[in-house]
Amino acid sequence: MKRRWNIPIWAGFAIVVLSVIGYIPLFALFPITRDVPWVNYLLFVAGGVLLALGLKRAYRESDRYRGKISGPILSVLSLLIAGFFVFGILVLTKQLPASSGAPQVGQSAPQFTLANIDGKQIALADLLKGHRGVILIFYRGYW
pLDDT digits (tens, 9 = 90+) for 37-81: 999 999 999 999 999 999 999 999 988 888 899 999 999 999 999
Residue 131 lies in a domain: no
Q: What percent of the chain has a predicted confidence (pLDDT) above 70?
A: 96
Residue 100 lies in a domain: no
CA proximity to 37, closest of 100, 82, 101: 82
Residue 23 lies in a domain: yes
Residue 132 lies in a domain: no
Residue 20 lies in a domain: yes
> In the prediction, which pLDDT does 70 show?
92
Domain that holds residue 76: 7-95
Provide the phi-psi class of 119: left if phi over 0, else alpha when psi is between -120 and 50, else beta: left
> In the prediction, which pLDDT does 116 show?
81
Tally of structural domains, the chain: 1
Residue 105 lies in a domain: no
